Amino acid sequence: MAMTESKPVHITVLLQEAVDALLQADAGVDGAYVDATFGRGGHSRLILSRLSAQGRLQAFDKDLEAIAEARRIEDPRFSIRHEGFANLSDLPDGSVDGVLMDLGVSSPQIDSPERGFSFRFDGPLDMRMDTTRGESVAEWLATATVDQITEVIRDYGEERFAFQIAKALVARRQERGPISTTADLAQLVADTVKTREPGKDPATRTFQAFRIFINAELEELEQALTASLRVLRPGARLVVISFHSLEDRIVKQFMAKHSKEVVDRRVPFAAPVQMRLNALGRVKPSAEEVAGNPRSRSAIMRIAERTEVPA
What DSSP string runs through 69-93? Answer: HHTT---TTEEEESS-GGGGGGSPT
Q: Are residues 245 and 298 in the same domain?
A: yes
Q: Are residues 88 and 144 in the same domain?
A: no
Q: Are residues 233 and 302 in the same domain?
A: yes
Q: What pLDDT is stored for residue 9 in this prediction?
A: 62
Phi, psi dihedrals of residue 295, rounded to the nearest 5°: -70, -10
What CATH number should be reported for the domain holding residue 70? 3.40.50.150
Q: What pLDDT is stored for residue 3 in this prediction?
A: 38
Alpha carbons 254 and 252: distance in angstroms, whole number: 5
Alpha carbons 260 and 288: distance in angstroms, whole number: 35
Alpha carbons 68 and 58: distance in angstroms, whole number: 15
Structural domain contains residue 209: yes
Structural domain contains residue 117: no
Structural domain contains residue 127: no
Confidence of residue 266 (pLDDT cuts 50, 70, 90): low
Residues 71, 58 contacting (CB under 8 angstroms):
no
Structural domain contains residue 22: yes
Alpha carbons 274 and 257: distance in angstroms, whole number: 11
Q: Are residues 301 and 242 in the same domain?
A: yes
Final residue belonging to a domain, choices 195, 213, 231: 213
pLDDT digits (tens, 9 = 90+) for 69-95: 999 999 999 999 999 999 999 999 999
Q: Are residues 166 and 286 in the same domain?
A: no
Q: Are residues 33 and 47 in the same domain?
A: yes
Alpha carbons 153 and 138: distance in angstroms, whole number: 15
Give me the number of domains the chain comprises.
2
User: What domain range includes position 64?
Assistant: 15-107+217-306
Final residue belonging to a domain, choices 160, 184, 213: 213
Handedness of CA 76, 78, 79, 82 (dihedral sign): negative
Q: Are residues 223 and 299 in the same domain?
A: yes
To the nearest 10°, report the CA torsion of 171, 175, 176, 182. Answer: -10
Q: Name the pairing type of β-strands 277-283 and 300-306.
A: antiparallel
Q: Are residues 33 and 181 in the same domain?
A: no
Structural domain contains residue 115: no
Confidence of residue 106 (pLDDT cuts 50, 70, 90): low
Find the DSSP H helices in the chain.
15-23, 42-50, 64-70, 107-110, 137-141, 146-157, 162-176, 182-192, 204-214, 217-231, 245-257, 287-292
Final residue belonging to a domain, choices 194, 213, 232: 213
Structural domain contains residue 311: no
What CATH number should be reported for the domain holding residue 187? 1.10.150.170
Alpha carbons 62 and 104: distance in angstroms, whole number: 12
**pTM exceeds cut of 0.85:** yes
Q: Are residues 39 and 89 in the same domain?
A: yes
In terms of Cβ atoms closer than 10 Å to its own Cβ (0-12, 13-18, 19+), residue 187 is: middle
Residues 303, 280 contacting (CB under 8 angstroms):
yes
Q: Percent of the chain at pLDDT above 70?
A: 87
Q: Are residues 180 and 223 in the same domain?
A: no
